[in-house]
């Protein structure tokens, strides 16, 4: 089946004129006439009755026009959708992040500038976030301390520092200056699971400094760590970009080597030029 012939017939059926159909399709009138004639001859059917004043559809033409109108109507809808997406009037962005604090300000900027864009946010630990990006379940991801790899585009986002989290009444809460990492030696602590980025950074720094905290609890969320510290079960650690606004606890910077983390925005290299991904990366760079 020749789609050019069907497109010509559909234009004539809609416009009721070969001349207007040619204008609609940006081709010559003889070309439209030739396409329709070829369609009729190939299938041995009369689709149009040509009179001196107008063009009328036959019964077969009416039935075919109902099909072509739906068919090319969907094509026009697809074109309109793609054009709107190119202009960032509409679209959907899948975002993965290893925590909400760094990504939420960027999503607020995206919503302000491109209100028609829908965002689906996936939150997980570092491994889950990277897996979502590599499996194309996410278009972009906020990643921490990720090693460069082939096929992955990385853009620096920000840095954070590991802080110690203590109850509001703890002596460190009102002390001046940073808390030495060495002060955590044999300190009773409540920490995130070993797979979390902050926990990995903290454990590595402790190992290098010879500091051995006493881990009482391992918890699977920042919120649980905050609650445990507020209940005075021990002190915890938290990233400086993820400090909760909670009067029961206080975050103090830790002094020591290896306590700074680099955060990145990442996407697959082959998708880095997509308009919507570029818009999100551009917001983060501002």
Q: Cα-atom radius of gyration of the chain, to the nearest Å? A: 31
DSSP 184-231: GTT-EEEEE-TTSHHHHHHHHHHHHHT---EEEEEESSHHHHHHHHHT
Weakest-pLDDT range from 62-71, 78-87, 224-233: 78-87
How far is it, in rounded angstroms, from Cα 168 to Cα 152?
42
How far is it, in rounded angstroms, from Cα 32 to Cα 37?
9
Taking a C-beta distance cutoff of 8 angstroms, is the pair 162, 142 a contact?
Answer: no
Domains of the chain, each with CATH number or no CATH: 3-86 (1.10.10.10), 91-157+262-285 (3.40.190.10), 158-261 (3.40.190.290)
pTM (predicted TM-score): 0.64
Cα 10-51-8 angle, rounded to 5 deg: 15
Beta-bridged to residue 249, according to DSSP, are 167
List, for residues 140-157, the tens digit of each pLDDT value.
999 988 888 999 999 999
List, for residues 163-192, the tens digit of each pLDDT value.
999 999 999 998 888 999 999 999 999 998
127 pLDDT more than 80: yes
**Residue-level pLDDT at 85:** 65
Q: What is the DSSP letter of 263?
A: E
Cα 39-41-43 angle, rounded to 5 deg: 70
- Mean pLDDT of the chain, nearest integer: 89
212 pLDDT more than 90: yes
**Residue-level pLDDT at 84:** 66
């Amino acid at each position: 089946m020749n789609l050019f012939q069907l497109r010509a017939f559909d234009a004539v059926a809609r416009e009721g004129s070969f001349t207007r159909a040619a204008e609609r399709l940006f081709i010559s009138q003889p070309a439209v006439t030739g396409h329709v004639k070829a369609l009729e001859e190939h299938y041995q059917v009369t689709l149009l009755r040509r009179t001196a004043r107008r063009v009328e559809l036959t019964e077969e033409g009416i039935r075919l026009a109902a099909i072509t109108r739906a068919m090319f109507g969907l094509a026009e809808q697809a074109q309109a959708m793609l054009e709107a997406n190119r202009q960032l009037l509409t679209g959907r962005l899948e975002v993965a992040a290893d925590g909400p604090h760094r990504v939420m300000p960027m999503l607020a900027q995206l919503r302000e500038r491109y209100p028609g864009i829908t965002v689906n946010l996936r939150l997980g630990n570092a491994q889950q976030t990277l897996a979502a990006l590599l499996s194309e379940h996410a278009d972009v991801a906020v990643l921490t301390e990720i090693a460069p790899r082939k096929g992955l585009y990385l853009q620096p986002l920000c840095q954070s520092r590991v802080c110690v989290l203590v109850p509001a009444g703890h002596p460190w809460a009102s002390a001046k200056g940073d808390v030495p990492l060495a002060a955590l030696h044999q300190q009773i602590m409540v920490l995130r699971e070993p797979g979390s980025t902050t926990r990995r950074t903290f454990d590595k720094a402790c190992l290098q400094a010879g500091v051995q905290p006493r881990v009482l609890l391992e918890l699977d969320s920042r919120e649980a760590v905050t609650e445990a510290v507020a209940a005075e079960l021990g002190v915890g650690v938290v990233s400086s970009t993820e400090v909760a606004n909670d009067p029961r606890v206080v975050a103090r910077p830790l002094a020591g080597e290896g306590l700074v983390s680099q955060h990145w925005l990442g996407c697959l290299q082959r998708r880095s030029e997509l308009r919507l991904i570029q818009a999100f990366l551009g917001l983060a760079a501002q």
